[in-house]
Amino acid sequence: MFKITLGICALIEKEGVKQLIRRALKDGVDEVVLVTPNSQLAREVKKQYANHNIKIIIENERKGKAKAINEIFRNSSGDIILMASADVEVKDGTITKLLKLITSEDNVGIVDSHVLLRNEKSKFFTSIVNSAWLFHNLTMIKLNNENRLGHVAGDLYAIKRGVINEIPEYIINDDAFIATVARLKGYKVLHEPTAICYILGPQNPYDYILQRSRVLYGHFQILRYFRRTPTTFEFTVIKKPLIAMNIAREAIRRIGIKRIFHFFIASLLEILSVFYLLIHFILLRRKLTTWKVAITTKEDFI
């Protein structure tokens, strides 16, 4: 039998953390490791789950997700670690599916879940964000089917102990870094499309640009660090344009003619995200391990 740890990095997502712990305990997870700078959140979790195996690491200040991930690696005792963002809702059966796949072969190092958006407040902007997110999911499925995947979304994934023990604390895209290391070590990185979880996407242009510029900055960090590109759609366009064209064709087919305008707006926002990235973190040479919070992505989990 494998011992299972749930690792959670949290900032302000009190309800999200409690929901994750309830789900984990229901699905037979053996221990929970929570890392947070929020002492009030930590006290509430400790009080509510006093009779369960929950380790809480309180940071004296917000130090970035990479450092929090390292705390989870150091303090977990599980053979398999379920890494979860605090702003994710896990569908019934998802944890079981992740564990089944990651234990199916010795050389499977990481299994990622299939992330869907559950925006309800702005139907128009929801459609825009969904248009962009569809490209991500289709890329994950396509590269997974071709056994070329080296990326995880990071909202919820399972990783075997020892695949990686520590990541540099300046890394922004911890999930992309971890998946790249796993791939370079010869482990399989898999995507399980039936292991579904839900997140709340950005609900205004500012939060979209804020979130995407962070992701893109993290991808370019991976490129500089490893001298190889992440297996994401934007780099697939450069390295494998035919595959990218097929993904785009399928995405546009699913989006439909009536919503093609939303796709163009998403493309424009993506371009603006790149400009935001260039100005703030390349021209101004800002180096950040912590990032501004895209608050609308967390509203349902606070």
- In the chain, which ranges are E strands? 4-9, 31-36, 54-58, 80-85, 89-90, 108-117, 156-160, 188-199
Please report, rounded to a whole number, the percentage of residues in the chain having pLDDT higher than 90.
76
pLDDT digits (tens, 9 = 90+) for 130-155: 988 999 999 999 999 999 999 999 99
Whole-number Å distance between alpha carbons of 179 and 190: 10
Mean pLDDT of the chain, nearest integer: 92
pLDDT reported for residue 169:
92
pLDDT reported for residue 294:
93
pLDDT digits (tens, 9 = 90+) for 42-90: 999 999 999 999 999 999 999 899 999 999 999 999 999 999 999 999 9
Name the β-bridge partners of 7. 33, 83
Edge to edge, the sheet with strand 4-9 lists 54-58, 31-36, 4-9, 80-85, 156-160, 108-117, 188-199, 89-90
Residue 119 has pLDDT above 70, yes or no: no
Q: Which of 172-186, 236-250, 274-288 has the lowest mean pLDDT?
A: 274-288
Task: For the full predicted model, state whether its pTM sits above 0.85.
Answer: yes
- Structural domains in the chain, CATH included, are 4-301 (3.90.550.10)
Taking residues 199-216, report their average pLDDT.
92
pLDDT reported for residue 166:
97
Taking residues 229-245, report their average pLDDT.
90
pLDDT reported for residue 263:
86
The answer to whether residues 129 and 266 touch, using CB atoms and an 8 Å cutoff, is yes
pLDDT reported for residue 258:
74
pLDDT reported for residue 3:
97
Taking residues 16-22, report their average pLDDT.
96
pLDDT digits (tens, 9 = 90+) for 244-302: 999 999 998 998 877 888 889 999 999 999 888 888 766 656 666 778 899 999 998 98
pLDDT reported for residue 285:
62
pLDDT reported for residue 260:
84
Q: Which of 32-41, 186-195, 269-278 has the lowest mean pLDDT?
A: 269-278
pLDDT reported for residue 287:
62
Q: What is the number of H-type helices and E-type strands within the chain?
A: 10, 8
pLDDT reported for residue 176:
95
DSSP 12: S
The one-letter amino acid code at 114 reads H
pLDDT reported for residue 1:
82
pLDDT reported for residue 284:
59
The one-letter amino acid code at 71 reads E
